[in-house]
Amino acid sequence: MYWVKRVYQFYIDGFKSMPAWGRNLWVIILIKLFIMFAVLKMFFFRDTLKNRYQTDEERANHVLEELINN
């Protein structure tokens, strides 16, 4: 568990000593990741299994058939 604390401290020290433009860049990166994974998922990656099948058993059977056939 000691190495986890060392890794955490390493990143904290690096972030504190980073110039202001570096912190701004990380904020932009985190905002882009949020948009990619949260916002776009809602609009483009719908839950088709939930829409097509009523029960968990039907969903599981469909996934199993797709894995075996493909």
Give the three-state DSSP class for 19.
coil
Q: Which domain holds residue 34?
A: 2-69
pLDDT at position 65, please?
A: 92
Residue 48 · residue 56 · CB < 8 Å: no
This prediction has a pTM of 0.54
Nearest CA among 41, 63, 38 for reference residue 53: 63
Nearest CA among 3, 33, 7, 4 for reference residue 15: 7
What does each C-alpha distance from 10 to 4, 14, 51 come to in angstroms? 10, 6, 46
Work out whether the CA dihedral 41, 46, 47, 50 comes out positive or negative: positive
What percentage of the chain reaches a pLDDT higher than 70?
Answer: 100
Q: Which tens digit of pLDDT belongs to each residue from 27-52?
A: 999 999 999 888 888 888 778 888 89
Q: Based on the structure, what is the number of domains in the chain?
A: 1
pLDDT at position 34, please?
A: 92
